[in-house]
Amino acid sequence: MNESAPKVKSYFSLIKFSHTVFALPFALIGFFLALTMSTTRFSWSLLGLVILCMVFARSAAMGFNRYIDRRYDAANPRTAIREIPAGIISTRNALFFVILNCALFILTTWFINPICFQLSPVALIIILGYSYTKRFTALCHLILGIGLSLAPIGAFLAVTGKFNIMPLMYSFAVLCWVSGFDMIYALQDEEFDRSQNLRSIPVWLGKKRTLILSSFLHLGSALLVIQAGVYAGFGILYWIGASIFILLLIYQHFIVKPHDLSRINLAFMTLNGIASIIFSVFVISELWFRHLGTTFHGF
């Protein structure tokens, strides 16, 4: 037991499980939004299946990224301590971990509904395919954004089995948000990526213009969050959450400068994680109070 605990911890570290705070809150928004827009009653089992899909899909994607990039990670001083190049997790075990999570993801969607099951291979192609994109396009950050943007759409489909414009607004907001902060995070590897002939926005545009592009993407995310609130006619709770989310987006552009990248981790993990969680709490609270006693009979 004492030997297995560190092993489990290593796998959590491999996939950066803490980064689940980026997409999972938006999946929960999609889930509860779907309940308010359908006759489906709240179900703990369905919510559990949606969360499991998120965990399995993200674990597969991150594990595959670490597996595919193991050679680059070993050569990069910043990432050489990661589990595969450091020999903590073998290449074979990492690949098995990815295959297992892919299988569990597909199996879980089978228990949700036919459309989620049918679209599960498409989702895997997108989230796994991202790992290859840095080799041939600087737009890899947008592909990552697309992968995480599937969260609110997927959760909405799990409840309703149908597409709708509301979760699409949040998906595009996630796309702009994630793409923007991933560009900021990639600034610290600009020189290494250039030396390895890897593509990224920082390699293509340089630090200053990357931060400008990132700020425009975050502006787009903010506008989409506002548009969704106006479209749905949300009340004060939504706008409090949206305001905090937008302010945190703005703040990270004040603490990361082309000549000072020392606070990238604060901007990347802390601020964006807090922004996502706070926004989802206020949105779900708004949905709860607007529909208390009607949609959520089973809660």
> 């979760």: which residue's tokens?
167
Q: Rg (Cα) of the chain, in Å, rounded?
A: 19
Is the whole model's pTM more than 0.95, yes or no?
no
Could you give the number of structural domains in the chain? Answer: 1
Amino acid, single-letter form, for residue 72: Y
Question: Is 12 within the bounds of a domain?
Answer: no
CA 24 – CA 133 distance, rounded (Å): 23
In 3D, which of 227, 202, 224 has the Cα closest to residue 213?
A: 202
Would you give per-residue pLDDT tens digits along the chain (299 residues)?
A: 444 544 778 887 777 766 677 889 999 999 999 999 988 889 999 999 999 999 999 999 999 999 999 999 999 999 999 999 999 999 999 999 999 999 999 999 999 999 999 999 999 999 999 999 999 999 999 999 999 999 999 999 999 999 999 999 999 999 999 999 999 999 999 999 999 999 999 999 999 999 999 999 999 999 999 999 999 999 999 999 999 999 999 999 999 998 888 888 877 778 888 999 999 999 999 998 877 445 444 44
Which CATH number characterizes residue 87's domain? 1.10.357.140
CA 113 – CA 136 distance, rounded (Å): 36
The answer to whether 109 and 161 have CB atoms below 8 angstroms apart is no
Question: Is 264 within the bounds of a domain?
Answer: yes
Question: Is 10 within the bounds of a domain?
Answer: no
Question: Is 265 within the bounds of a domain?
Answer: yes
Question: Is 299 within the bounds of a domain?
Answer: no
Cα four-point dihedral sign 226, 227, 228, 234: positive
For residue 287, what are the domain limits? 21-291
User: CA dist 242 to 43, 70, 80, 183, 212, Å?
Assistant: 27, 38, 38, 22, 22
> 């009653």: which residue's tokens?
41
